[in-house]
Structure 1
């Protein structure tokens, strides 16, 4: 699924300035607030949905080669998190949608949690 479609489905706002983000493809999604669970979720071209808004989210995503993060429930990360994400060329969205609903919306529109 292309990120433009993810943005439309979740009515999300882009908060990093990565160019060409609309055409980036994600193949699976992981929704959680425990970064230890993210470490157990090794999938290629994954999207992370979380309500946790600290630099550890960005560092964990970096370790797992996750390039797209969606902060749910209207959470807005601080400038330190946004700056770090931009430095690492990560696309970051924020949406008012709760985590459970956001995952369900993406799943019902064809984005699996299983990857390829």
Structure 2
């Protein structure tokens, strides 16, 4: 799946990173707790969150994520957008709530990377 596929599934607005929409993504996670993302997330490509602050971009960058999706239509400010551009991270906003957005992505083949079967 590509970032562009994710955008279509979630009916998301692309905020920045239009040039990176063809990047491959294989897994995703949804969290508002960046400490949980740092502690428990491994090999995730997409971060879904309702938290809108620079720490989200810094966390995604540390975890080598390629895309951040803000749920519930939340919009980042210019400082967050600038930071994402510097780090080459796609930012999008979806009108869906986190539960729904994660479910749609899972239903369309994007996995969570969980080791439990």
TM-score under structure 1 length normalisation: 0.92
Q: How many residues align?
A: 115
- Segments of structure 1 that go 5 or more residues without pairing to the other structure are none
Q: CA RMSD in A?
A: 1.5
Task: Label 1:46 to 1:17 Cα distance change in 2 as closer, same or farther (>3 A).
Answer: closer
Cα deviation, residue 87, structure 1: 0.8
Contact 1:18 1:90 in 2 (8 A): no
TM-score under structure 2 length normalisation: 0.92
Alpha-carbon distance between aligned partners in 2 of 1:115 and 1:87, rounded to the nearest angstrom:
30
Q: Which residue of the partner structure matches residue 78 of structure 1? A: 77
Alpha-carbon distance between aligned partners in 2 of 1:33 and 1:17, rounded to the nearest angstrom:
22
Alpha-carbon distance between aligned partners in 2 of 1:10 and 1:115, rounded to the nearest angstrom:
22
1:100 aligns with 2:112: no
Alpha-carbon distance between aligned partners in 2 of 1:98 and 1:10, rounded to the nearest angstrom:
10
Misfit runs of 4+, over 3 Å: none
Alpha-carbon distance between aligned partners in 2 of 1:42 and 1:33, rounded to the nearest angstrom:
13
Task: Label 1:115 to 1:88 Cα distance change in 2 as closer, same or farther (>3 A).
Answer: farther
Q: Secondary structure at the match of 2:16?
A: coil
